[in-house]
Chain A
Amino acid sequence: MASTSSSAAVVEERESGRKRKRGGATGESEGAEEAQPSKWRTRRVHEIYSSKLLDAIRLVRSGSGSPASAAAGTAAAAAADPQSSRAVREAADRALAVSARGRTHWSRAILASHHRRLQAARRARLREPASPPLRHPTSPPGKGPKAPALARKAKVLGRLVPGCRKLPFPALLAEASDYIAALEMQVRAMTALAEVLSTVSASSSGTSSSPA
């Protein structure tokens, strides 16, 4: 991971040793950490994600420069156009999925759907015939909830968590636990970033005219 300041990376290495168990995770080793949804509460993963998030949304800004906002006009520059807002959301989700390190269905599903979209766009540009979208081939049989009400709710849950529509019930519950923990971290990190950015932009725009 390229970092612009090496000192930040050094600090991260030191702090990761001290503060890895901030959330109260019981496992010291990487293996135990990976299995628990509580891994999302560590300071280390928060920092890793925040850094990825910052990189990702900076790319969004430079990517959606002229074509989207030219039509909207300069007056809309201060408002968020829905395209860039969605692009930020998708970038944040992808960064979150990357931070999950490929151990969960939902994270793989997010990255896979992005990859498919990129491939489709690439093929459209090159005018090649599109290959059919890859889908998870089987719905593995497993223990499901016996009551119909539970089965209905499980289905709704399966649609809410990415890539989990056809999972058996126990796996779905495990994915949902991890996904919720990850989403909470995403909210914390995005909130912190928004605070920092609004502070930075407020101070940089207010320096010339603010009275003492």
Chain B
Amino acid sequence: MSSRRSRSRQSGSSRITDEQISDLVSKLQDLLPEARLRNNDRMPSSRVLQETCNYIRSLHREVDDLSERLSELLATSDMSSAQAAIIRSLLM
């Protein structure tokens, strides 16, 4: 791994080093489901970014599916405020 000095163009703020970036990348890697399974030491940054994009897309899809399911459930049921209170307490 080549160690390059960062050339920060931000005036007044601290230099952003390669180390900081690699730290952020590895934090991102830890969030990925794939990394949790295999307990990878280090994936290359491009792979981490790729998997991150894929994961965000799959989370978006899940949220879309859940939104559809929720809107179906809401359409078929009439929710009084008493029922809402019950549901709220069930969620807690």
Residues of chain A touching chain B, judged by Cβ–Cβ distance below 8 Å, are 3-5, 8, 11-12, 15, 37, 47, 50-51, 54, 57-58, 60-61, 69, 77-81, 84-89, 92-93, 140-143, 145-147, 149-150, 153-154, 156-157, 160-161, 168-170, 173-174, 176-177, 179-181, 183-184, 186-187, 189-194, 196-198, 200-201, 204
Contact = CB atoms under 8 A, between A and B. Distances in A.
Contacts of A201: 73, 76-77
Contact of B63 (A92, A168, A177): A92
Contact of B74 (A12, A61, A149): A61
Given A5-B88, A197-B73, A142 B8 contact: yes
A177 B49 contact: no
Contacts of B7: 143
Interface string B38-76: 000000011001101101110110111011111111111
Contacts of B56: 157, 160-161, 176, 179-180, 183
Nearest to A154: B49
B92 interface: yes
B8 A80 contact: no
B81 A4 contact: yes
A153 to B, nearest CB: 4
A104 B74 CA distance: 31
B66 A50 contact: no
A152 to B, nearest CB: 9
Contact of A50 (B4, B25, B55, B91): B91
Contact of A88 (B21, B70, B88, B92): B70
Contacts of A145: 21, 45
A72 B6 CA distance: 59
Given A5-B85, A54-B84, A187 B66 contact: yes
A30 B74 CA distance: 35
Nearest to B25: A173
Nearest to B4: A146
Interface in B21-41: 21, 24-25, 27-28, 31
Most chain B beta-carbon neighbours within 10 Å: one of A47, A143, A193: A143
A190 B28 contact: no
A173 B70 contact: no
Most chain A beta-carbon neighbours within 10 Å: one of B67, B74, B75, B81: B67
